[in-house]
């Protein structure tokens, strides 16, 4: 038998996908399953974006683009960061990628040498660890607390930075918690990393999905951050596989060399279609949808409170609620399995996101319609009343 590379054993599993498989199997048997598990918007690309896609296809714009992406899209992204998130970005520092995954892979390959250690908060999105592993690095998960919104602090850098540590990978807003880093907290964290000569990769793929204070990009605090973003979440184009990376100017030649060799370019038709995302009338559609997500969050938080599902840190972005269920007398894996099979509601156990809170936490996604969320709450109430 062919011997597999060691990194295949070090790749963390993605339990949300396993939950999805179980939910799909039950649905195939005729069960009505409400999915609060997978982190995919129930909205799709607006009609205007689809029209632009079709025009690009009819015009034959399906060939390779420049490895960094078509210039007009890079300019549109730069303008978007300036008008929405307060960051002045040179389009030459933007590289369009095959989703945020492609951006993270390029960033890891450009910054991480074999054996390098990268700090990440526990909990955090599990796939991020695997990009570090793919580059030969080692992820060190640092336990965080609800008191600090499940985000890293400068004190964590002091306590966990070691001889092999090279940088941190953080997200704001975060998956699975939906919590953002307060501006001054992010400033202090970046300063602590910079003081040790380290780098910061900042995942901002949920930056557009905010529900309280309008956000600013981390680039307004430090222009040398490596920032990841995507058309998947706010722009509802998950399967289009389109994202971007913003990096310091000095990194761009190396990143473009890597992109040219590993991907050639991001999907060309998706790039041309994405230009319409930034048109004013299309942005109005996205803003209306953002408010729909806020309405769902505002419905669920008090409903969870009534059910006894504690939310120690209320989310202010993304579309997740990270609930502490330890008072229910079940570990999270048992809770999620029973909730799925007995109530027909899919959720994700905390085990997916790290060990610190694994047994007592569950991630719920509200990327589904309000009518289905109301039904999910009714089912959960019945389930918890009969447990």
Q: Residue 9 — very low, low, confident or very high, per pLDDT cuts 50/70/90?
A: confident
pLDDT at 100 over 70: yes
pTM of the predicted structure, to 2 decimals: 0.95
Supply the pLDDT for residue 52: 98
Q: Which helix (H) or strand (E) holds 241?
A: none
Torsion of CA 352, 178, 137, 242, to 10 degrees: 100
Classify 7-44+282-386 by CATH class. Answer: alpha beta
Partners of 238 in the β-ladder? none
Supply the pLDDT for residue 387: 59
Q: Where are the alpha helices (DSSP H) in the chain?
A: 7-10, 15-28, 47-58, 71-85, 99-111, 126-134, 154-160, 183-194, 252-262, 268-274, 280-307, 332-338, 370-386
Helices (H) and strands (E) in the chain, counts: 13, 12
pLDDT at 368 over 90: yes
Supply the pLDDT for residue 301: 98
56-96 confidence digits (pLDDT tens): 999 999 999 999 999 999 999 999 999 999 999 999 999 99
Sign of the Cα torsion 370, 372, 377, 378 reads positive
Per DSSP, 237 falls in state: -
Right CATH number for 63-278 from 3.40.50.1220, 3.40.50.720, 3.40.1180.10, 3.40.640.10?
A: 3.40.640.10
196-254 confidence digits (pLDDT tens): 999 999 999 999 999 998 999 999 999 999 999 999 999 999 999 999 999 999 999 99
Q: What is the DSSP string of 336-387?
A: HHHIIIII-EE-EEGGGG-STTTTTEEEEE--S-HHHHHHHHHHHHHHHHH-
Q: Residue 23 — very low, low, confident or very high, per pLDDT cuts 50/70/90?
A: confident
Question: Residues 172, 151: contact at Cβ < 8 Å?
Answer: yes
Between β-strands 361-365 and 320-324, what pairing exists: parallel, antiparallel or unpaired? antiparallel
37-53 confidence digits (pLDDT tens): 988 999 999 999 999 99
Give the domain ranges of the chain: 7-44+282-386, 63-278
């Amino acid at each position: 038998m062919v011997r597999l590379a060691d990194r295949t054993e070090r790749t963390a599993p993605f339990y949300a996908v396993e939950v999805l498989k179980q939910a799909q199997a039950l649905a195939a048997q005729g069960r009505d399953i409400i999915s609060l598990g997978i982190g995919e918007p129930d909205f799709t690309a607006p009609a205007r974006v689809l029209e632009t896609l079709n025009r690009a296809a009819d015009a034959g714009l399906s060939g390779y683009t420049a490895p960094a992406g078509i210039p007009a899209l890079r300019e549109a992204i730069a303008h978007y960061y300036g008008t929405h998130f307060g960051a002045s970005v040179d389009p030459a520092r933007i590289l369009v990628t095959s989703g945020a995954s492609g951006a993270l892979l390029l960033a890891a390959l450009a910054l991480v040498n074999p054996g390098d250690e990268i700090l990440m908060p526990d909990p955090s999105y599990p796939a991020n660890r695997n990009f570090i592993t793919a580059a030969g690095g080692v992820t060190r998960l640092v336990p965080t607390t609800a008191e600090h919104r499940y985000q890293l602090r400068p004190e964590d850098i002091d306590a966990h930075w070691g001889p092999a540590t090279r940088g941190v990978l953080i997200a704001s807003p975060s998956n699975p918690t939906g919590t953002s880093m307060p501006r001054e907290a992010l400033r202090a964290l970046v300063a602590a990393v910079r003081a040790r000569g380290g780098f910061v990769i900042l995942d901002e793929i949920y930056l557009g999905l905010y529900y309280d204070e309008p956000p600013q990009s981390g680039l307004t605090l430090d222009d040398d951050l490596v920032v990841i973003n995507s058309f998947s979440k706010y722009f509802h184009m998950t399967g289009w596989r389109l994202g971007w990376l913003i990096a310091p100017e000095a990194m761009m030649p190396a990143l473009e060399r890597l992109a040219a060799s590993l991907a050639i370019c991001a999907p060309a038709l998706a790039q041309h279609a994405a230009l319409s995302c930034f048109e004013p009338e299309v942005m109005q559609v996205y803003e209306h949808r953002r408010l729909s997500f806020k309405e769902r969050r505002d419905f669920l938080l008090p409903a969870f409170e009534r059910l006894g599902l504690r939310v120690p840190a209320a989310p202010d972005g993304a579309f997740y609620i990270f609930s502490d269920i330890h008072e229910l007398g079940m570990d999270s894996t048992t809770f999620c399995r029973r909730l799925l099979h007995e109530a027909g509601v899919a959720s994700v156990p905390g085990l997916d996101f790290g060990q610190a809170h694994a047994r007592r936490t569950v991630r719920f996604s509200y990327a589904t319609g309000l009518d289905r969320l109301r039904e999910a709450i009714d089912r959960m109430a019945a389930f918890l009343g009969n447990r």
